[in-house]
Amino acid sequence: MLSALSIDMPMRPWRLSGTVYGTLLNHAPALAALGDAANAAPYKAAPKAPVLFVKPRNTLLATGQPVHAPDGEGVWQIGVSLGIVIGRTACRVAESAANSVIAGYTMVVDFSVPHESFYRPSVRVKARDGSCAIGPHVASPAELPAPDNLAITVTVDGAITQQASTANMIRPVARLLADVTDFMTLAPGDVLMLGVPHGAPLARAGQRVRAEIAGIGAYEAVIASASTQEAA
């Protein structure tokens, strides 16, 4: 699938590595919506560092590949995030130097099985085959000089189901990159999701999903049934 992810890249000669890191609870309204649950056991407090998960290679959707509903005719939760594309090895990057390791920005559409675990969601809900769409374009930092103020829009069957912005993140792009690379190294071609806004909509087989981030472009697909996948 990786060859199909060689979308327009501003920094050569590397390509997308296929490693996608998601960030949880980085959207202020999402954390606020948890209320007292954020302080309940076992964590007993809001996170003090970035909370990450991984969308492994089996989740990546190749160009033109359909997304299939989970568990027969099940429902997807549509999480749309700005993706920070790493252009140079990033280890202990200062917030002020974040731009020096960023190749550009893309969109990540994270299809997940609806779940209630907000800190450590199960691999079963996050790592389904073909549940991560990237693209359609990688915008250079020059094209997107204000990544922390981009409109996000999701429609299902033509009706707007989510309008959000990257402006409401607890850790904006530079700070998130600094905090993450303080404890792990990111490699060229890796994608770090800024975070999914609160209120990610749901969609099921037969429905058309359209996700767009201003300045990057749109992803659009009709969710196919699992029976179609088995027949193929």
Number of domains present in the structure of the chain: 1
**Measured distance between the N- and C-terminal CA atoms of the chain, rounded to whole angstroms:** 17
CATH number, residue 164:
3.90.850.10
Which amino acid is present at 217?
G
- State both tokens at 2: 């990786």
Strands 75-86 and 102-112 turn out to be antiparallel
Residue 197: domain span:
2-231
- State both tokens at 24: 């949880």
Q: Is the pTM of this model over 0.95?
A: no
Spatial separation of the C-alpha atoms in residues 60 and 85, rounded to whole Å: 15
Per-residue burial over 136-146, b if 16 or more Cβ lie within 10 Å, else e, is bbbbbbeebee
In tens digits, the chain (232 residues) has pLDDT values of: 444 444 444 445 457 878 999 999 898 877 777 666 666 665 666 677 898 999 999 999 876 788 999 986 789 999 999 999 999 999 999 999 999 999 999 999 999 998 776 667 778 889 999 999 998 889 999 999 999 999 999 999 999 999 999 999 999 999 999 999 999 999 999 999 999 999 999 999 999 999 999 999 999 999 998 765 554 4
- State both tokens at 107: 């969109």
